[in-house]
Structure 1
Amino acid sequence: MKTLYKGLVLILLIFTFNLSAFSQTITGKIIDEEGLELPGVSIYLEGTTIGTTSDVFGAYTLIINEGEVAGDSLTIVYSFISFSSQELRIPMNPDMIITHDIVLLEEVEMLQEVVVIGYGVQKKSDVTGAISTIKPQEITSLPVTSIDQVMQGRAAGVQVSQTTGAPGEGIKVRIRGLGTINNNDPLYIIDGVPTKDVTGILNSEDIESMTILKDAASAAIYGARAGNGVIIIETKKGQAGKTRFSFNTYAGIQTHGRLTPMCNTDQYIELYNEAAQADGNHEPIPDDIRPQLSNTNWLDEIFRPAVMQNYQLTISGGDEKSRFLIGGGYQSQQGIILNSDYERLNFRTSISTELAEWVNVGSNLTFSYSNRDIIGASGDGYGGNGGSVIRYAFFRTPPVPVYESNGEYSDLPMFEGYDRAKLNTWFGDGYNPVGLANKYDWTAKTYRLFGNFFADFKITEGLKFRSDFGVNMALIDEKRFNENWGTDDRINSPNSMTKGIGQAFTWNWTNTLNYVKTFNEKHNTSFLLGVEAIKNNFHEQIGSDRDFADQSANLRYLGNGLSLYKGADENQTGWSLLSGFARANYNYKYKYIIEGVIRTDGSSRFTPENRWGVFYSGSIGWSMHNENFLQNANWLSQLKPRLSIGQTGNQEIGLYNYASIIGPGYNYPLGGYPNNGYTVTSF
């Protein structure tokens, strides 16, 4: 009976997916003043995360779909390191492809800017590794909920994506594709504190600079954690002068793009009856049932206009001795699918004080709270999330109403004068996606403290010592109640509940000695020595219950279920890393540059026999534009061939892969009776 229904669904999907969708396309080529193609230029729509990059021939194509923008004009931004950014304002015209070539102009003064690198800073003109930088003015006003979203379309070789697009969901960032096995997320360094998860830590308004280390030459200083690239973020600090007040806000409405056109009831009956007639084994839908049928567009029913808003207040100031910044804000984002929402409160402080001419101390701390309402995203519910709301919207047929006459959500089709078997064959037995979405009671609350305490010591001229202690603490509170509902209580039978609390704490202690010296005004040198210790601990407790006699929201707590089989589980894990590293940099008259890095890491994730690894990099560069024979080449602003080699690693494997793990819940037949016990679950 279900065969014909499934075949009909396939026919409908094939029919609907062949319809074209609206989009605006802008294409062209990007060159410099001499007509040379510029690959890797960031092209993005101002105020959004929609963007792309130019290819090796300088060509680009930017596609903007309906619903992603509002208004009758578009502002396209072209940005590339060492070049002045340009803007292109064009009218919205979906009926034609707009072709526009761009000539970017170089900014020589930008080459003297200082960029943040691993455990230090460096002049942009002296960089010999592959890096990208993102300026704060490019990202301050972006309507994003996570700081990793600001990189989309703004850095060559960096891809940013989301699995479902739900508010507050983690972001996938890939630097130059997949670099390793297992975890491919980059390492983030925020004010010297490392993390693999930046969700909910900062706002885009908090960022002073963002540097992306893309090759081994630039990232090897981070050793066993740099296999997928490194993203270094410096936050805004207080400045000397009058106290400044800054208030930033935005609000807007998000809507879905063009949806797949769905059949109405008449079209569905026509297609079904044609298929039934061709099949010869199924009864067609009779005409006398039509007065009882609805005409539901299930995609329209599950989507909504979603309000998003952000309010941030910052107070900063200080004098030559002490500086401060205090900020806080509120951010909320509704999902475009029912019952998917996200909100976050944040508070940030940055304080620095010069205790003496030779010592400066301070801290940068961020406190945040987020609350996320989750709905199922996996198509068939694999992994226990109940199934995708969108999947069931595609499966649900238009004759079935959203609500029954009593106001309850409809489930299996019920029409007078027809038995259930026939109705299920004609109209399907998939879940009601509106009821499925609204009955999800699945929330994840996260409380987070992130930041560092530091002390800088000026020992002698050019010699500095820095001690930096970082903390990354998170408390995760997740609760899910699976309500029993539907025809004959067939969905989530019996009802059940899971409640989990996890505590994660990571600290890092980094000590560096930095020496900078110029000899005879020709030989410029810098040396870095450092040691670093990192330790992580994670502890979680999970409880479960089922058979709740009363499903009222105020009674959904562990212990209220009638089942005798109440679950309880507890886990504790941890890892640590101990490292030493060094870097030496030399340039002669700012023409010939050579740099070398070495780092050794000892990670508890590996066996004692293979716990330590050595990582290195070497790079050279030749600033040819500084040579005497090119001094009169006014047409040339910078010419720097460079060559590098290096090695990075990836410690993101299982915590105890080298050990045999035992687990409970296994039966041993002894004396003719099963006895519960433990067994080895992994080798």
Structure 2
Amino acid sequence: MIVMLVFCCFNTVQAQEITVQGTIKSTDDGMPIPGATVIVKGSTKGTVTNFDGEYAIKAKMGDLISVSYIGMLTKNVPVTSKFMNISLKSKSQDLDEVVVIGYGTVKKKELTGAVSQLKADDIERFITPDLGSAMQGQIAGVNIAASSGEPGAQSNIQIRGITSLSGSNTPLFVVDGIPQEGDPRLSTNEIETIDVLKDAASAAVYGTRGASGVILITTKKGKEGSMKVDFGTTYGVQRLGQGIALMDASQQLYFEVQQKKNYSAAFDPGPTRPEWLTNNNDLRDVILVNDAESKTYNLNVSGGTKNFTYNVAGGLFSADGVLVGSSFKRYNGRASTSYNTDHWKINTSIGFIMEDRDRATNNLITDAIRYKPYFPIIDGSSDVFYTEEGAGGVETPLNTLAQDLKRKDNERTDKINASLSVTRDLTKELSFTTRVGANTSSQIRNIFRPKYTLVDLTTGSSSVDPLKSGVEAQSSRLSVFSWDGTLSYKKKIGKHGFDAIVTSAFEERSYQEFYATRNGVISNEIEVLNNAGQDPGAYSGVNYVNKTAGFIGRIQYNYDGKYLFSVLGRRDGSSKFGKDYRWGSFPSLSAAWNVSDEKFWQPLIGTVNNFKIRLSRGTVGNDSFDPYQYSSVITGRRNYVFDTNDTALTLGSAVVSYANPEVKWETSISNNIGVDLAFFKNKFTLTADYYVTKKQDMLFPVRLPGSTGVVNGEPQNVILNIGNMTNKGLEIGANYQQKIGKSKFNLGLTFTKNTNVITKIVDGVDIIYNPNSQVLGDPATVFKVGREAASFWLYQTDGVLKNDAEVTAYNNLTGGTPSQKGDLRFVDQLTVDSDGDGIADKGDGVLNDQDRVYSGSGLPDFEMGFNMSWNYKNFDMSMNWYASVGAEVINGTKADAYARFRHADLVNMWTADNPTSNIPLAKVRTHRDSSGISDLFLEDGSYLRLKLITLGYSLPKSVSTAMGISKLRFYVSGQNPITFTKYSGFDPEIGGNNVAQRGLDLSRFPLTSLYSLGVNVTF
């Protein structure tokens, strides 16, 4: 009886709650960890450690306490006493950290491929709707360049160089295991980790979709414990940097007088309206908006129990553009759940994105530059436009700019993505996972050109041209459905570890597009198609379906954690190919050796605690071209020419593109060697990779001769497998972290160098001019054997002809149209072999395409990123620097300002009174000196930029707890506040929308600096 009574009393004591307290410290340096989360598993009880790492929580003896902190390994400890000090180990110090590799995960120590990872902290600091902007400079081997400074614009992302000459170079994005169509446009606050698969052996698991590399995004998930609420908001203003140098009114008048005196006596300088002589206007003051506002709001709610967790996130990003009439607003939301039992795991996710964008007119900057400073101010408020003196209704800067300011262009994009994954453990070693994903993207774009009255300032006559007003409407819808099923087997037998998967994957993409336009607006108050009465309008539509299927097998083997091997095979099928070429096989192999696990390495383990060598060889196929190329396309409502004089037109059906039923897979073969090093217990880590990727049977559109009969105005190309290309590169990523007292800092460095060379185009052809790279009407870039893709191919200049002797000598050398004093001296390249020795030693006396030479490209020689974070007590600071070195930029904006006689340089042009100048004498716009494809407008595009600097302060724990919150942080930040460059345009970062336009600055929307205030609150 006494024994039973004692036993019952003991159980009662066991069941009673006690206050467990202690200190959470780091095993690295023994320092306390403030802000660590402490919860009692299986309950809603939780707390956060104070500044000294101390905690106190109610629990029962035997309860399991879970302690977690960002960057540290979570630790679960049973309650055994009232006083418990707990130590956490840094994730960076443990090679058991998990990396996502596609259809599975692997411990970092067992990784054999080239994979880099970013965490939430690395990207959340950036205030941007563009994920690429936040990633720039933080991952070696990934080239990211802004395509535009327009609000909401996407960056161009390339992994390990150019991967296609005619198709997309954008990597595949995979969100929570579901492949996406292009950039998923997620908020940085939705993302937990980003894993980038860079080598083909790693990316090959995704087949043709991974031909340009793969970016795996894992969104934030709920964690066991009480509900946690995070809220953040920012307010900022945008500022413009440098701009192009233009003449003011006095300079413009002086220039025009000099132009009359030195070139054309018939030229009439200045305005003929006397009252305009007092004007000194710069239309950039009208079209550019400084202090454009930017606002963000983000909310995240998460929590759960042992079996069920949830995470709900939502946000708003709003920004006005620095070009008048431009703005961007995005709403995003995502809900994720996870349900786990002993044998089942079910994950669900659904997200939406709504974007609303007002676009400025493409030519707004160009037209503002052309606007002479003595013209009157135009602000777009009137429906009456004026022509320049005596223009008589011709398009002039007076009315073209007014049209730009009145034009409206709105684009609305709605995206929904949903996924479901179910995993069933069949045995201890065997499991089956199936995933279903659905993504839809709908876009509606409306352009409205209001009607206006055009008044001739000379005659006073007015007119309304219905063809100048109109409405354009475009709608498109993209739907993607994907499914995959994976059978996974994991087994460890002694020192032998096996991990194998067998996967089948299916994807269907369907796209519909409709476009219509009508002219002759009836009322400026109604902005719909039916408000335009001019028929017939222009209509077009697109509708296609593309399907892919893949079968994957992968085996990973390791012996004692030292010797690692991975073999992967994928069989891909794509409906884009003809029936005889639809399937392709793409194997990959990788291996690694953990040298630091060997016994002979143990004497060095205190200095170099990790040393791994990696090797891989992978093959990936590519089907990056429009569908139905294996079949000729015939369309109706075409005017077909039957008359020998090309005058008789007959309406009917016609061939608009020809088939190539033998088009086959473009193939990439990549070899990679890498090394991973860690020194002094992971205080300093280094990863380096060298790779060689060869592209074979590149898909490229080849222009057909006119005799084929393709309708005029249609693409006269056929897709052929004709070319080869090579990318070689070196990537280095280094990181150093240290704690000194209560101060902790982290330094990161990335280095990327990629060399791209086209090794073959087609037999008998070694150069192709890119029609999509025009500067003032002439193509500036080429695909040339032996050079990088989209090289600049320009005329070389050698100053200005300054006296009669130079003019005579030059004209005798070149022949053709005689040059005059003040003209540019173009170099007549050595193209003629005069003595028969096989070496060109003389020019041919004609200025033509043979005199254009390689002049660099928009691709950098190398890139570097430097990232730093520092914490001291409640203060934190971070900086991100990025450098691009060696890229060239063609300043097309400057070329246009020269051709339109507006650039400030022209004040100092060559004249008889200024005979030493190297700035050519301005003549008519059609003069060859105004050509945009000479090296006169080629500039060094290298730059060093402070991408982000942030300074934050978190309230002491005692203060925030008294306020009823867990954490309260205030911060200020500057994005792109400083740029060091020699480039004279708006900004040297020129991404371009395709390969051919990389490095062409064609009056694009300028990049801006953003200065913000922000606050983060955790409940």
Provide the rounded CA distance (Å) in 1 between the counterparts of 2:121 and 2:434: 31
Aligned to 1:483: 450
Aligned to 1:237: 221
Aligned to 1:585: 556
Aligned to 2:168: 183
Per-residue CA deviation, residues 282-332 of structure 1 (Å, 9 max, x unaligned), is 233389826654211122321112111110111111101111111212111
Provide the rounded CA distance (Å) in 1 between the counterparts of 2:597 and 2:639: 77
Q: Tell me how far 1:544 sits from its aligned partner.
A: 2.5
CA contact (8 A) 2:171 2:210 kept: yes
Per-residue CA deviation, residues 349-380 of structure 1 (Å, 9 max, x unaligned), is 001223x4211223111112111112233xxx
Provide the rounded CA distance (Å) in 2 between the counterparts of 1:285 and 1:390: 22
Aligned to 2:528: 557
Aligned-partner residue type, residue 657 of structure 1: Q
Aligned to 1:10: none
1:546 to 500, 504, 519: 519
Is 1:635 paired with 2:612?
no
Provide the rounded CA distance (Å) in 1 between the counterparts of 2:618 and 2:181: 22
Aligned-partner residue type, residue 274 of structure 2: I
1:196 to 163, 181, 202: 181
Q: 1:290 to 1:226 in 2, by over 3 A?
A: same
Aligned-partner residue type, residue 401 of structure 1: P
Aligned to 1:351: 337
Q: 1:232 to 1:433 in 2, by over 3 A?
A: farther
Provide the rounded CA distance (Å) in 2 between the counterparts of 1:462 and 1:399: 81
Per-residue CA deviation, residues 463-519 of structure 1 (Å, 9 max, x unaligned), is 221110001111111111122347346888331212122221110001111111111
Q: 1:178 to 1:491 in 2, by over 3 A?
A: farther
Provide the rounded CA distance (Å) in 1 between the counterparts of 2:528 and 2:566: 60
Aligned to 2:498: 525
Is 1:666 paired with 2:652?
no
Aligned pair count? 556
Aligned to 2:867: none
CA contact (8 A) 1:141 1:205 kept: no
Provide the rounded CA distance (Å) in 2 between the counterparts of 1:251 and 1:178: 37
Is 1:313 paired with 2:299?
yes
Aligned-partner residue type, residue 446 of structure 2: K
Is 1:600 paired with 2:574?
no
Aligned to 1:499: 473
Aligned-partner residue type, residue 543 of structure 1: A
CA contact (8 A) 1:622 1:640 kept: yes
Greater per-residue strand proportion: 2
- Larger deviation, residues 309-318 vs 672-681: 672-681
TM-score by length of 1: 0.77
CA contact (8 A) 2:203 2:214 kept: yes
Aligned-partner residue type, residue 171 of structure 2: P
Aligned-partner residue type, residue 654 of structure 1: D
CA contact (8 A) 1:224 1:613 kept: no
Is 1:444 paired with 2:418?
no
Per-residue CA deviation, residues 255-278 of structure 1 (Å, 9 max, x unaligned), is 111122322111111111111111
Per-residue CA deviation, residues 386-411 of structure 1 (Å, 9 max, x unaligned), is xx211112211111122399956764
Is 1:174 paired with 2:158?
yes
Aligned to 2:402: 435
Aligned to 1:162: 146
Provide the rounded CA distance (Å) in 1 between the counterparts of 2:421 and 2:128: 30
Aligned-partner residue type, residue 308 of structure 1: S
Aligned to 1:40: none
1:138 to 102, 118, 122: 122
Provide the rounded CA distance (Å) in 2 between the counterparts of 1:503 and 1:406: 35
Provide the rounded CA distance (Å) in 2 between the counterparts of 1:405 and 1:536: 43
Secondary structure at 2:330 match in 1 = strand
Q: Tell me how far 1:151 sits from its aligned partner.
A: 1.4
Q: Tell me how far 1:110 sits from its aligned partner.
A: 4.6
Aligned-partner residue type, residue 418 of structure 2: G
Q: Tell me how far 1:574 sits from its aligned partner.
A: 0.8
Aligned-partner residue type, residue 368 of structure 2: A
Q: Point out where structure 1 has 5 or more consecutive residues left out of the alignment.
A: 1-81, 83-105, 378-387
Is 1:620 paired with 2:594?
no
Aligned to 2:918: none
- Larger deviation, residues 266-275 vs 255-264: 255-264
Q: Tell me how far 1:675 sits from its aligned partner.
A: 4.7
Q: Tell me how far 1:177 sits from its aligned partner.
A: 1.1
Secondary structure at 2:467 match in 1 = coil
Aligned to 1:457: 424
Q: 1:592 to 1:410 in 2, by over 3 A?
A: same
Q: Tell me how far 1:432 sits from its aligned partner.
A: 5.8
Q: Tell me how far 1:431 sits from its aligned partner.
A: 5.1
Aligned to 2:55: none
TM-score by length of 2: 0.52
Q: 1:324 to 1:663 in 2, by over 3 A?
A: same
Q: 1:292 to 1:593 in 2, by over 3 A?
A: same
CA contact (8 A) 1:323 1:352 kept: yes
Secondary structure at 1:314 match in 2 = strand
Secondary structure at 1:487 match in 2 = strand
Q: Tell me how far 1:560 sits from its aligned partner.
A: 2.3
Aligned-partner residue type, residue 551 of structure 1: N
Q: 1:210 to 1:468 in 2, by over 3 A?
A: same
Provide the rounded CA distance (Å) in 2 between the counterparts of 1:348 and 1:514: 29
Q: Tell me how far 1:677 sits from its aligned partner.
A: 1.4
Per-residue CA deviation, residues 14-35 of structure 1 (Å, 9 max, x unaligned), is xxxxxxxxxxxxxxxxxxxxxx
Q: Percent identity?
A: 27
Provide the rounded CA distance (Å) in 1 between the counterparts of 2:478 and 2:485: 24
Is 1:374 paired with 2:386?
no
Q: 1:563 to 1:121 in 2, by over 3 A?
A: same
Secondary structure at 1:442 match in 2 = strand
Matches within 5 A, 1:89-488: 109-181=93-165, 182-200=167-185, 202-279=186-263, 280-285=265-270, 289=274, 292-304=277-289, 305-354=291-340, 356-377=341-362, 388-403=363-378, 411-413=386-388, 419=390, 429-430=396-397, 435-485=402-452, 487-488=454-455
Aligned-partner residue type, residue 503 of structure 2: G
Per-residue CA deviation, residues 59-102 of structure 1 (Å, 9 max, x unaligned), is xxxxxxxxxxxxxxxxxxxxxxx9xxxxxxxxxxxxxxxxxxxx
Q: 1:581 to 1:288 in 2, by over 3 A?
A: closer
Q: Tell me how far 1:199 sits from its aligned partner.
A: 5.0
> CA-atom RMSD, angstroms?
2.7
Per-residue CA deviation, residues 203-222 of structure 1 (Å, 9 max, x unaligned), is 00111110111111211111
Provide the rounded CA distance (Å) in 2 between the counterparts of 1:659 and 1:376: 38
Secondary structure at 1:547 match in 2 = strand
Q: Tell me how far 1:107 sits from its aligned partner.
A: 8.3
Q: Tell me how far 1:227 sits from its aligned partner.
A: 1.6
Secondary structure at 2:126 match in 1 = coil
Q: Point out where structure 2 has 5 or more consecutive residues left out of the alignment.
A: 1-70, 72-89, 456-462, 659-1019
Provide the rounded CA distance (Å) in 2 between the counterparts of 1:464 and 1:570: 46
Q: Tell me how far 1:135 sits from its aligned partner.
A: 1.4
Provide the rounded CA distance (Å) in 1 between the counterparts of 2:361 and 2:609: 54
Aligned-partner residue type, residue 335 of structure 1: G
Secondary structure at 1:260 match in 2 = coil
Larger Rg: 2
Per-residue CA deviation, residues 423-450 of structure 1 (Å, 9 max, x unaligned), is 99xxx93256763443221111111101
